[in-house]
Structure 1
Amino acid sequence: MYSISEAAKLLEISSHTLRYYEKEQIILPDRNDHGEREYGDSHIAWLRFVIKLKQTQMPLVKIREYSRLYQEGEHTQEARLRLLEEHRNSVREQISTLQETEKMLDHKIGSYKEMINPSI
């Protein structure tokens, strides 16, 4: 089990973020006899997933919805699947946009390099 500070360090996020995720009911850590938060390996794995969703621009409201559906049980699997498929489509659009932007940047960088050093 990990304390909140250990979990935060392991995940490279702040303790404040962990408390916020708890407040938003995205994570429900265990509590020890003293009432202190404890995070097990399953919590860490879940939080890594949440962090990836956040990094790929999934809105917090959707992450919260997914978490709620997961906590409700197996009868929500189809709804969770739809939510993740929608997000995957969004990620694919982001990838496409980034690839197009990279090509444009490569072209612009090449143009500047040629202007600066025309003999190369």
Structure 2
Amino acid sequence: MYTISDVAKILGITAHTLRYYEKEEIIAPIRNANGERIYDETNLAWLRFVMRLKQTHMPIVQIREYAHLYLQGDHTNQARLNLLEEHRNSVQNQINNLTATEKILGDKIAAYKNSVAKGTGIG
């Protein structure tokens, strides 16, 4: 079991972010007798997944929708599948754009290296 500060430290996020996720109904930690949030390994695994979704620019509204669908049970599997497939398409578009940008940057860097080696200018 982990406290909010433990989880924040483990995941490299702030306690404020964890409270925000709770407010947005993305996570529901249990509370101890003193009302303090307690997290378990299942919470950590879920939060790691949420962080991956955020890193790939999934909007909070969609993460919340996925969380709500999950809590409703297996009859929402198709809706969850659709949501994740749609997001995977978005991630693939991001990868394609980054790959194209990386190539352009590589070409530009190579041109500058060539220019520096020759002592000439480049546009």
User: Is the pair's TM-score, using the shorter chain for normalization, greater than 0.5?
Assistant: yes
CA RMSD of aligned residues (A): 0.9
Residue in 1 aligned with 2:112? Answer: 112
Given the alignment of the two structures, is residue 42 of structure 1 paired with residue 42 of structure 2, yes or no?
A: yes
AA paired with 1:38?
A: I
Q: Unmatched 5+ residue regions in structure 1?
A: none
Cα distance, 1:56 vs. partner? 0.2
The aligned counterpart of 1:74 is 74
Pairing 1:21–2:21 present: yes
- The normalised TM-score by structure 1 is 0.97
Aligned length: 119
Partner of 1:3: 3
1:41 Cα shift? 0.1
Which portions of structure 1, spanning 4 or more consecutive aligned residues, are displaced by more than 2 angstroms?
none
1:53 and 2:47 equivalent?
no
Length-normalised TM-score, structure 2 = 0.95
Instruction: Tell me, in whole angstroms, the C-alpha distance in 2 between the residues paired with 1:8 and 1:82.
Output: 31
**Distance across 2 between alignment mates of 1:91 and 1:18:** 24
Structure 2 unaligned regions, length at least 5: none
